[in-house]
Structures are given as structure tokens and as C-alpha cells.
Structure 1
Amino acid sequence: MIEVKITPELVERAKKKTAHVGVLQGSITGSASHVVGAIGELIVADLTGATEANTHDYDLILDGKRIDVKTKRCNTPPKTYYDCSVAAHGSKQDCDSYVFVRIKIDGTRAWVLGEIDKRDFYKNATHHRRGDVDPDNGFVFKADCYNLAISELQDIETQSTTVQARS
């Protein structure tokens, strides 16, 4: 897991990136999370040297691998037993792997949690239906999704120090 300080410059880059984006089909939170998602994508691109692709199916390309970055907000630093989620409609995306990122709600910090091959994610994830209650924390699922513990992810390989990172 890599902790990253979010700078004002990073936020501005994310705002520019999302300035013309409408509400995405299947989005649970509407347009409110576009900047948050863009911050996650930019952090991963900066850390790995990946190229931005911004297609419907994936966000980044690195050495021919198509990566979809899944970012969500949080209140506290993540623990390894916390889950990473992919909405069920996301299972149709034509990507090779997922990288998961959490961003603190106050916008000061982010954590790149790790990466997993898409096939491995669905092989090991737990499927939940909208309205199900997570027995671990009482969360009521707002949409059908798949969950997998952070501990099941692989560390990402970094090749850039453009972002202020702490391991």
C-alpha cells in the first residue's frame, strides 16, 4: 500500500481532466465523484508511468496492460481487511486488471491499495446484491457489486516519484 499526499496541483489536473465529463452510465454517485476518480487515475499514472487512455473499458495502459482504476472516498486510513469493490456492471469492462485507490474525504491523502488481474478478482471476490447487508460492518449495498479484501491485492510497481509517496 502506498500513501500519497494530494497536492493542489494534482486536484487542478483532475478538475481539468473532468471538466467536460457528464454523468457516467451506471454511476452510483453521479458526477460528484468524477474529480475523485480522476485524482486516483492521475496518482496511479504518475507512480507507474502508465499512459492515460480514458476509454469506457479502462483508464490507463502500461506495457500493453489495460488498467481500470477504481477509486473511492474514505474517512480513515484503510486496513488490509477492508474490501475493494467493483459494481456488477463494471464486470463487463474490457480491461486486464484493476488498481484500487482510496482518497480521504478531506482531500489530503490517498492510498494506492494494490492491483489484481481482472480474472483473479472475480474468481476470489464475494458477490453482493443491492439491499444486502454486509455482515462485517452493517453496510447496505446500494448496487450489485463484488468485494475483495485489500490483503488479496498485489503491490503496484512504481517507476516515478512525480507524486509525493510514502510506503
Structure 2
Amino acid sequence: KLGIEDTTPPVAPTDAHTEADGAVIKVAWDASESTDVVGYNMYRGTEPGVTAETGSKVNIGLATDGEVIDYNAIADVTYYYVVTAVDGAGNESEPSNEATGVILSVPDEEAPDAPTALAGTPADAEASLTWTASLAEDVVGYRVYRSLETGAFIGAEVVSGEASLTSPEYSDTA
């Protein structure tokens, strides 16, 4: 008996859409209308126009429940996803519509601990400042402010420049 080889791909899934959920992106879709579909593949990229050829496959085995969770998404990176249907003969459909997803990082609204042990050493036309670095792990630099008045430094001039100092020392020559 001669078998007829199935070379017809299934109909593409529809309505692919994303939902950022904490540190993951959930991608869901409506099933293909083809009756011989055994599962789905999901592909992603960081540029629009993702296809099975240009995107990275997210799921390891075929997805069967209409949703895949992308556990490897990086915060603040926009990802583009498409889903394809796969039938029992291994034929893969054209991609679904493209869905976009992004995980927004949580803004850091807590100030780090202040540096301690500020010491100034006057010299000819300059003052050298040193301090003990903050113990906070997320400190990326320091700014030095100068004022001719004691007390609060509201509106004081930033003398270290707009870029933060990375070491706990500064020489003021003004």
C-alpha cells in the first residue's frame, strides 16, 4: 500500500499576544484551525520581523497548551514573538502575527547609604577631600557639592562635574 506523504503545513495560529508577569513574559495565542496540529513553536527576536529562520526558538519541546513562558527575557529589552503550528508530519505553519513584550525594570527609588568619615586637607589654592566609601552595593559614583555657607546645600554648586566620581577622593582647585 502506498502512503501519501503529508507536505501541507497547518494554518498559522492567530492572536498572539504577550503579558509581562514579574520577571517573565507570557506569550499566548489562539490555536490553529488545522485538525492535525500536534504542538506549537515560539520564536523571538529583538528586531521586528521575526520568523522561524531569523528568531531564536524559545520552547524546547512542542508547546501544547496555547501558552509559552519566556524565562530568559532581560528587563528593558523589547522582544518580538511569533508562534508556528506543527502537524504530525512535522510540517510547520507560517508564523502567527507578531507580538511584542518587554519587562520593565523596577526603578530603584532608595538612596544608598551616605559615605562617611569626610576629611578635608587645605593646601595652596586647593582643598583635598577624602571619605570612606558607601557600603551600598549599587553605588556607581559620588558627587561633590560646594557652598560658601554652612548647613543645607540646597542649590549648591556641583563641583565634581556631572559625571560621578568613582573613587572616594576629590581635589577642589577653585
Fold-level similarity (TM above 0.5): no
Compare relative contact order (CA 8 Å, sep 6+) and give the higher one, 1 or 2. 1
Higher strand share: 2
Structure with greater Cα Rg: 2
The normalised TM-score by structure 2 is: 0.26
Q: Which has the higher helix share?
A: 1
With normalisation by structure 1, the TM-score equals 0.27
